[in-house]
Amino acid sequence: MQMFGIGELARKAGMATSTIRYYERIGLLPPSKRVNTKRRYDTSILQKLSVIRMAQHAGFTIAEIQTLLHDFPVDTPPSERWQSLAGKKISELNELINRVQTMKLLLEQTLQCHCPTIEDCAKVEENMDTGELGVKPCCGVETISNVQIVTEH
């Protein structure tokens, strides 16, 4: 099996060696194989780092990623603990998507209007009960709404 050191891994994964050591120290990565004190990795580590990076980009904290990786279901079917965890995460991601969509609408609208300030322009509405945000059209711009996220199976 092809093995390589921390320097090459860092290059392959596009991150600093210090980050990899840090991940190992906090237990996000398992203790690596050692050859005479030096860390040695095989390609499977890259998969792991990809998952970590993707989760981070999606807004997960390191602590959350720890939990997700640690509590991964080893039994069949997935434990209830994992199910509720993943379920909660999924709905958090849905909320995030909504917020980002709203922000996008706001920005797109400002590109088409002539209002004096951003607050006047994209009329931001906040439902104080639910905390939800909405954007109303302004200054003659035709209505932009009905955002749909379609996930086909």
Partner DNA sequence: GTAGAATGTGAAGTTAACTTCATGTCAAGA
Partner DNA sequence: TCTTGACATGAAGTTAACTTCACATTCTAC
Binding site for a second copy (CB under 8 A): 44, 47-48, 50-51, 54-55, 57-60, 68-69, 72-74, 76-78, 82-83, 86-87, 89-90, 93-94, 96-97, 99-104, 106-108, 110-111, 114, 116-119, 121, 124, 126, 133, 142-153
* CB 41, CB 11: distance < 8 Å: no
**3-state DSSP call for residue 129?**
coil
* CB 46, CB 13: distance < 8 Å: yes
Given the complex with a second copy, which of 21 and 48 has the nearer CB atom?
48
Residue 60 sits at φ, ψ, to 5 deg, of -80, 145
What count of other Cβ atoms lies within 10 Å of the Cβ of residue 109? 21
Report the nearest approach of DNA to the CB of residue 152 (Å).
32
Amino acid (one-letter) located at 109: Q
Given the complex with a second copy, which of 18 and 83 has the nearer CB atom?
83
Given the complex with DNA, which of 10 and 113 has the nearer CB atom?
10
Mask: binding to DNA, 110-139, rule CB under 7 A, as x and -? ------------------------------
* CB 124, CB 137: distance < 8 Å: no
User: How many Å apart are CA 126 and CA 132, to the nearest integer?
Assistant: 6
Contacts with DNA, residue ranges (CB under 7 A): 5-8, 10, 15-19, 21-22, 34, 36-39, 56, 61-63
